[in-house]
């Protein structure tokens, strides 16, 4: 079971001991302090996700998501579903929809949120949801 959380505004995903940074960071990130070798370059408009090399054991703890996707398919799907195309950043509205689908403004701090359905949902259906959420103010 893969996990995805946040790191400096981007998504940090772990699958089978491999880590990916998805999207552009929104704030400075000390990758070494987070347990990773700094990536060569981050430009999600050119490459929506980059692999990260862990320097030590890294845990993604709640609030986070769990998914059934593995490998690069996990990173590619999260990028396709959650990044804003014009700037390569993670959509906070879409992330919040996954973390707090009832809109109660309560992030689950004690356990991961199961979003296996996100990887199973056909892209055309998700695009309807995505467009609706991104249009709403």
What does the pLDDT look like over 84-135, one tens digit per residue?
Answer: 999 999 999 999 999 987 777 776 678 899 999 999 999 999 999 999 999 8
The rounded distance, in Å, linking the Cα atoms of 35 and 108 is: 24
Q: Is 52 exposed, middle or buried (0-12, 13-18, 19+ CB in 10 A)?
A: buried
pLDDT digits (tens, 9 = 90+) for 39-67: 988 999 999 999 999 999 998 988 899 99
* CA–CA distance, 123 with 137 (Å, rounded to integer): 23
| Angstrom distance (rounded) from CA 78 to CA 44 | 12
**Residue in the structure block whose two tokens are 């990028």:** 79
Domains held by the chain: number: 1
Residues 23-42: tens digit of each pLDDT = 999 999 999 999 999 998 89
Tell me, yes or no, if the pTM score tops 0.85. Answer: yes
């Amino acid at each position: 079971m893969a996990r995805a959380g946040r790191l400096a505004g981007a998504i940090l995903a772990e699958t089978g001991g491999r880590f990916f940074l998805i999207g552009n960071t929104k704030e400075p990130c000390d990758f070494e302090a987070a347990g990773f070798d700094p990536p060569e370059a981050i430009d999600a408009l050119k490459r929506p996700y980059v692999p990260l090399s862990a320097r030590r054991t890294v845990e993604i703890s709640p609030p986070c998501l769990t998914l059934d996707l593995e490998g690069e398919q996990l990173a590619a799907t999260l990028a396709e579903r959650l990044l804003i195309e014009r700037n390569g950043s993670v959509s906070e509205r879409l992330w919040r929809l996954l973390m707090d689908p009832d809109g109660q403004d309560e992030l689950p701090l004690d356990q991961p949120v199961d979003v296996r359905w996100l990887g199973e949902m056909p892209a055309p259906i998700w695009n309807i949801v995505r467009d609706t959420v991104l249009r709403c103010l």
